[in-house]
Amino acid sequence: MQTNITTKAAESDDEAMLAVFERLALEAGRVIMEIFHGQVAVEHKPDSSPVTEADRASERLILAGLRAAFPGIPCVAEEEASAGIEAPELGRAFFLVDPLDGTREFVNGNADFTVNIALIRDGAPEIGVVYAPCSGRFFSGRPGLAEAIALSGDGTIAGRHRISVREGQVPLTIVASRSHRTPETDAYIRQVEAAEIVSVGSSLKFCLVAAGEADVYPRFGRTMEWDTAAGDAVLRAAGGETVTRGGEPLTYGKRNQLDDVDFANPSFVAMGRVSGAPGF
């Protein structure tokens, strides 16, 4: 009996946290769209990647909301990291925030950019939301439950339905990066005979696999944990997995890495229930 009570309490806590994530993502999306429809000024970070006021305004809103609602949980966010603000000490749980994933898409007027908020527990992404304010596509995930969220005309939540990964289709549908394709990614794709390839930006790639609209998302080359955590949380909640070259689950909270900077990801493949996808 005590175990059931504890489990229900944990589920209730996760559901309450997810509600905060969803509210903040919608609020951040409204701020982003105001800037998107105006004059977008583009700056560049030390690594030459673009950044706009939409990135910064979205991050300020999300971090203020998370820190007010959950003052005991550390936050790691892309723009703070890029500005040289040292990440806090991380315990068993921490937040990862990408306030505008797909800034290149945003700057170019494409619709695939997203707002991403995730909770990491013990190195795994357990709660996450991915919101694409241009298209209105909205996904959420917590342990045992992934959902696609429908929005009304005024941008409020109108409904939701459960999603899950599908059995691998023939041909397999592969989602790949629009802005960051690498020769290694292309070589992987060529291994999959008769694959249908869908090019899409940002963390929506994870969500298309989670929703059973695609089968595999390979990513070779640099990503950061805030790029992947929210989409990965949705995918895992939907029954999928994200694995590294060694076949191990992609982990989060990576610091003091010998061959890369803090929070950098290795190459990975995210997938649904696929038996015929090639390995690395």
Measured CA to CA in angstroms, residue 54 lies from 41, 150, 177, 204 at distances of: 9, 24, 22, 19
Q: Which residues are annotated as a binding site for substrate?
A: 78, 100-103, 227
Q: Average pLDDT of each block of 10 consecutive residues along the chain (280 residues)?
A: 54 92 97 87 79 92 98 96 90 96 84 94 98 95 97 94 91 79 82 77 91 93 94 98 93 94 95 78
Where in the sequence of the chain do the CATH 3.30.540.10 domains occur?
2-162
Query: Which one of 3.40.190.10, 3.40.190.80, 3.30.1330.10, 3.20.20.100 gives the CATH number of domain 173-271?
Result: 3.40.190.80
CATH code that applies to domain 2-162: 3.30.540.10
Where in the sequence of the chain do the CATH 3.40.190.80 domains occur?
173-271
pTM above 0.95, yes or no: no
Q: Which residues are annotated as a binding site?
A: 78, 98, 100-103, 227
Q: Which residues are annotated as a binding site for Mg(2+)?
A: 78, 98, 100-101, 227
The whole-number pLDDT of residue 194 equals 60
What is the spatial distance between Cα 260 and Cα 251, in angstroms, rounded to a whole number? 15
What is the spatial distance between Cα 135 and Cα 180, in angstroms, rounded to a whole number? 21
The whole-number pLDDT of residue 202 equals 75
Q: What is the DSSP string of 178-218?
A: SS---HHHHHHHHTSTT-EEEE--TTHHHHHHHTTS-SEEE
What is the spatial distance between Cα 107 and Cα 111, in angstroms, rounded to a whole number? 10
